[in-house]
């Protein structure tokens, strides 16, 4: 689905990700991406990954995050690791400066049965919907579309709001209705890279990857 240099961009949330090690060239190691969080950029909402570990390392600018209820600001050279099941959120509070971040994502211990490439499939779907104008100003799909996606990708991501009880009730009603009305959790026209560039050698070096 992706290899080094492939691009995923969300024009609504301000995220621009260049794959450094993707589904086609990651082997058994973690997926790695260079994320540019533009001024005011923010992930779509607080969430956790049931089966995945995510690591953020800032090398330019500043990335604000909330991890397990604790708010912190990551400066260049600082990292944060989010274990599976830990709620987290991030944003770039600067109005002028981009934040450049290396993101590594891999399966948690004991989850070898999980397909780690589904994380990228989800990103492609959400970013594709945003770029097609099918989300709100915070990057959130419509309730019916969101329910269909949430049920399909429950092994990849779970949002912390609304409460689990309300989510369970809502998904039980909205997801089947969304399917009936033609909403899809996976649309091949969205779930693919949005372009390709050649990553800078210094970025590859930061990720511990060879140039070229």
Q: Average pLDDT of the chain?
A: 95
Mean pLDDT over residues 170-197, rounded? 95
| Domains by residue range for the chain, with CATH | 6-207 (2.60.120.10)
Helix/strand/coil for 20: strand
Span 75-128, pLDDT tens digits: 999 999 999 999 999 999 999 999 999 999 999 999 988 888 899 999 999 999
Span 146-155, pLDDT tens digits: 999 999 999 9
Distance CA 126, CA 179 (A): 17
Q: What is the CA radius of gyration of the chain?
A: 17
The whole-model pTM stands at 0.93
Mean pLDDT over residues 62-75, rounded? 97
Question: How many residues make up the chain in this entry?
Answer: 212
Q: Record the tokens describing residue 83, joined without a space.
A: 């274990």
Mean pLDDT over residues 11-16, rounded? 96
- What local confidence, expressed as pLDDT, does residue 212 receive? 65
Enumerate residues 6+ apart whose C-beta is below 8 A from 68: 86, 87, 88
């Amino acid at each position: 689905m992706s290899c080094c240099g492939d691009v995923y961009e969300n024009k609504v949330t301000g995220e621009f990700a260049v794959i450094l090690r993707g589904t086609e060239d990651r082997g058994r190691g973690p997926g790695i991406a260079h994320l540019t969080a533009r001024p005011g950029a923010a992930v779509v909402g607080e969430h956790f990954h049931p089966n995945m570990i995510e690591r953020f390392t800032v090398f330019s600018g500043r990335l604000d995050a909330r991890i397990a209820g604790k708010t912190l600001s990551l400066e260049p050279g600082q990292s944060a690791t989010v274990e599976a099941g830990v709620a987290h959120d991030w944003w770039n509070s600067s109005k002028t400066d981009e934040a450049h971040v290396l993101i590594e994502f891999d399966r948690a211990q004991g989850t070898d049965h999980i397909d780690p490439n589904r994380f990228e499939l989800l990103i492609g779907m959400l970013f594709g919907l945003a770029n097609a104008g099918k989300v709100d100003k915070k990057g959130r799909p419509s309730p019916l579309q969101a329910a269909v996606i949430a049920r399909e990708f429950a092994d990849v991501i779970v949002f912390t709001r609304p409460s689990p009880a309300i989510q369970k009730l809502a998904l039980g009603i909205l997801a089947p209705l969304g399917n009936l009305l033609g909403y899809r959790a996976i649309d091949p026209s969205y779930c693919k890279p949005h372009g390709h560039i050649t990553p800078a050698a210094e970025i590859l070096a930061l990720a511990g990857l060879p140039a070229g």
